[in-house]
Chains A and B, each alone.
Chain A
Amino acid sequence: MDVSDLVDTTTGRQKRTIYSNEELYKQELERIFGRCWLFLVHTSQIPKAGDYFRTFMGEDDVIVIRQKDGSIKAFLNSCTHRGNRICRADRGNAKAFTCNYHGWSFAPDGSLAGVPLENEAYFGELDRSKLGLVQVTHVAEYKGLVFGCFDPDAPSLEDYLGDAKFFLDVWLDAMPGGTSLLGETQKMELGSNWKLPVENVCGDGYHLGWAHAGAMSAVQSMDLAGLSVGNSSTNLEGGLSVAGMNGHMALTSLDGVSGYAFYPEPKPMMDYLEANRPTAIERLGKVRGEQLWGSQINITIFPNLQFLPGLNWFRVYHPKGPGKLEQWTWAMVENDMPEEMQATILDNQCLTFGLAGLFDNDDGDNLAACTEQSRGWRTAQMDVFTNMALGRSGPRDGFPGDIAAGLVSEHNQRYFYRRWQEHMQAESWAEVPTYNINSLSVEEPENA
């Protein structure tokens, strides 16, 4: 389908049909989920050989497995004989995966290791070497985050991430010990198109004071983006909306403490930040070490990965049709944090943005209703708007990207839909533009 008229980033307009149309959804599975690098697993979740984690790439069921040599491979979770799912567990450790249907068995490296009655029934004529599990074309790691990609012509993961690495490193590389995801996967089904929660978290500071007014009035220590309960006032000075980095976005405060200052007992958090600030500055330079590390930051990696240093949740959205998704969430920590601090973070993440999260529980119905209100005969023809603060962005010293001031803006959402349109229009990766606007031409010197 031609999508040139469905998104207009110059006026900040989208056609609602992009949230409900079946044909467009199929095109998304092909041109977005079949083409982009998608988050699979964090290395901390599969530390040992044989450890595996089951996830999705679009609607394709995938098993990610740590190999004997320490590398990571990913395979379609589907028997090459009759197509049955070979793994029904969420994660674990396995020496082999045996299909429930006829007993074909696959080794962790994907090879077909055993076929019952191979000689009697197949007369020894089966070429097992051609019937291993289908491997995900590319698997690569960036500082603990493992991504997979189906498209053989895709750019490298590093190039795909582009200047978003500037922000990724604030979380992934500020401390020498790296990061982890904690605990089991918190899974929720939402009656929403997959783009709506991504759009919400990538740039929508506007909804915080209104949609979450109940939670904000109850948890008074939680100051979100300098907004008041009821959206009655906001401070635009405290943050940045950053986009124009190959479709990735960041929404960031600049104070270096806001990610942890809202805890009911912030002292241990503040002590940790203060003790390790010199390390962060040494590793990331002055701008990021002082202003970003410790700040509340929303990071979005196109199309469906989002994580928030500060609130410390990490999330992917798996599409299940145009009007449905599964939202998977974990708490995330730096490995250098003391264990008590990690436990506090896990507890707070469950309280605020988990399955029963005081804040999370406000968003689902809004996103579902936006989806439903794009399905009517008349509503499907209508527009929706992301035109706030249009044309009010530019470069900023020390930062990459096209930047709008403040967290209340629709700047990032416009870039998200721009990227969506670019992928949906392109026949192949060769037609997808690469851009890192206002790229920092020189690496920031150490201890600048």
Chain B
Amino acid sequence: MLEMNPAPVLVEDMIALTQRLYHEARLLDAERFEDWLELLCDDVTYRMDLKRRRFRADRSPPAAVGAGVVFNENFARLKLRIDRLRSGYVWAEDPPNFVRRVISNVEIEPADAENEVIVHSVIVIHRNRIDGLARQFTAARTDRWRHGTKGWCLAARDIALDHAVLPDSNINVFF
């Protein structure tokens, strides 16, 4: 079914948010983590669930305590991850890897709160590790962006990674 958009977002918001996504990607590519944190709301949630591969007809109930996550972070935990990367002891990132994010398939729709919007996008992260070793992560993102005094800030990001087996030895990158 074609999804009808009852209250289309303004063109200027669309441009501003798309630019935010591109800007965010460029900050992360350049390891400008502290500048990236500036784009996040204090109450941000940043989450990637684990994948499950089931037959379509399978009705097994979900796990009681939870399926587990790849990560489920708040602002303090994102800062903790950045502290680790900034420690000077993360040998896998030194020399720095060549990292490039491609953001695409951006769609914007209204959210429940008046000052928020839902932003769908696709991210591809290319990493050139040692020598010719290149790895790629592909994921869909569903974001909630909130408009405040600093402009648009990221309030929530749910990341759906399209890999049943992680195709790399670490996730020392942000999505």
Contacts and interface: CB of A to CB of B under 8 A. Distances in A.
B4 interface: no
Interface of A: 51, 88-94, 182-191, 211, 213-215, 217-219, 229-230, 326, 330-331, 333, 339, 342-343, 346-347, 349-351, 354-356, 358, 360-369
Contacts of B167: 189
12 contacts: A89-B53, A93-B59, A183-B63, A185-B50, A189-B169, A190-B169, A213-B89, A331-B68, A356-B48, A356-B171, A360-B170, A365-B130
B71 interface: yes
B65 A343 contact: yes
Contacts of B172: 361
Contacts of A343: 65-66
Contact of A214 (B65, B89, B168): B89
Contacts of A347: 69, 72
A355 B65 contact: no
Interface string B36-75: 0000000000001011111100111001111111111000
B67 A351 contact: no
A368 B91 CA distance: 13
A354 B66 contact: no
In this complex, the member of B72, B164, B165 whose beta carbon has the largest number of chain A beta carbons within 10 angstroms is B165
Q: How large is the interface on B (under 10, 10 to 19, 20 to 34, 35 or more residues)?
A: 35 or more
B35 interface: no
Given A214-B85, A333-B65, A367-B169, 19 more contacts: A92-B60, A93-B60, A187-B166, A189-B168, A217-B84, A230-B89, A339-B64, A343-B66, A347-B69, A350-B72, A351-B77, A354-B68, A354-B71, A358-B80, A358-B84, A362-B90, A364-B168, A364-B170, A365-B130
The residue in B50, B164, B167 that gathers the most chain A C-beta atoms within 10 A of its C-beta is: B50
A329 to B, nearest CB: 9
Nearest to B84: A218
Nearest to A330: B68
Interface string B123-147: 0000001100000000000000000
Contacts of A351: 71, 77
Contacts of A90: 52-54, 164
A350 B84 contact: no
A351 B84 CA distance: 12
A331 B69 CA distance: 11
B137 to A, nearest CB: 11
A218 B76 CA distance: 12
Contact of A92 (B58, B65, B88): B58
Given A191-B169, A219-B80, A186 B54 contact: no
